[in-house]
Amino acid sequence: MHGATTSSSTRVAATLAGISALAAIVGGFLPLDTAADGERYTTAWTIGAGVPLYGIPLTLAGLLLAGAAVLLLRGTRRPALAAVTAGAGLLAGLVAAIRLAASAAAHNAELLRARFPDLQALDTAGIGAWVLVLGAVLAVVAAVLAPRAFGPVDGPPGGSRPLAALVASIAAALAGLASFLAITITTVAGDPPSVAYNTGWAFAVESGPPGGAGQEAALTGIPLVLAAVALLVGALIALDMRGAERAAPLLTGAAGVVTGVFVAIWIAWLALADAQSTADIGITTTLGAGAWVLLVAMVVAVGLSAVLWLRPARR
């Protein structure tokens, strides 16, 4: 009976991972943000005029989940769990950051429309956005089901990893800290110049004449804090009797979320900086301390996850 249950759970997790992989790839080609009249839209592969190219990381997340589906069906425990949790975390982080940025942009477009009534903005979520959200949800469900599909960790009790717990705690602290620091800094030429910055929670003017009242920043602090909490929980699990073997899936998923958020921020900044340099309008945007702290958090979390999966299984 237990074998049949495990097999059924494995098939469910593999099916969900496969569907989420398809959603991640196909959703990138569908309209993400559209105009209210539906005549203009962007996809994850649209590039130019400051539009980010999200299609590449979304496709990578989809391929990772597709590989996870195959590994789940083959019953290869460690590679399957590593792939499904990493893919789910990466897709969830990407989709969360992309949609939060789109929400902030739509709000800011409404403020501009009050000054420029004829402004036509892409402020409505398209079908591609909903497909990606569905894919992210299914991927997370697959990642939650996958460890249960394989049953308890093999091997005798023991093997807590104090060092893994410490590193996970450091990654959590860095991810949380990054959300409160300036992620991007925008400078507008003038006398005096105006400097504004975005954190993962708010938009603020640092110097120069006040402006941008009511603007919103992409609330990337939400997924970052959730990832930090998951890293802290993983750190506690790593101190349990079965240690890192049980903590690895959760830590890997959290590392994927941090990676997805960072990649989305980095791609959006590259597109914006390129558009500003091309237009030459006296506005420049650079990455702030928050982005670099987030990069360190990502490297630490991903490195820890890789070590946990690559070390020999405890028997």
Based on the domain organization, do 176 and 269 belong to the same domain? yes
Give burial (CB, 10 Å; 0-12/13-18/19+) of 23: buried
Q: Domain total for the chain?
A: 2
Alpha helical stretches, state H, the chain: 2-27, 55-74, 77-115, 127-149, 162-180, 221-238, 244-279, 289-310
Q: What pLDDT was estimated at residue 33?
A: 86
Taking alpha carbons only, the member of 187, 204, 180 closest to residue 291 is: 180
* pTM of the shown model: 0.90
- Boundary residue ending a domain (151, 169, 189): 151
Q: What pLDDT was estimated at residue 2?
A: 41
Give burial (CB, 10 Å; 0-12/13-18/19+) of 3: exposed
- Boundary residue ending a domain (104, 127, 151): 151
Looking up tokens 């990832």, which residue turns up? 227
The tokens describing 133, both together, are 């959200």
Based on the domain organization, do 7 and 137 belong to the same domain? yes
Q: What pLDDT was estimated at residue 50?
A: 66
Structural domain range at position 86: 1-151
Q: What pLDDT was estimated at residue 97?
A: 96
Based on the domain organization, do 1 and 137 belong to the same domain? yes
Q: Which residue ranges of the chain lie beneath pLDDT 50? A: 1-5, 116, 155-158, 315
Q: What pLDDT was estimated at residue 149?
A: 77
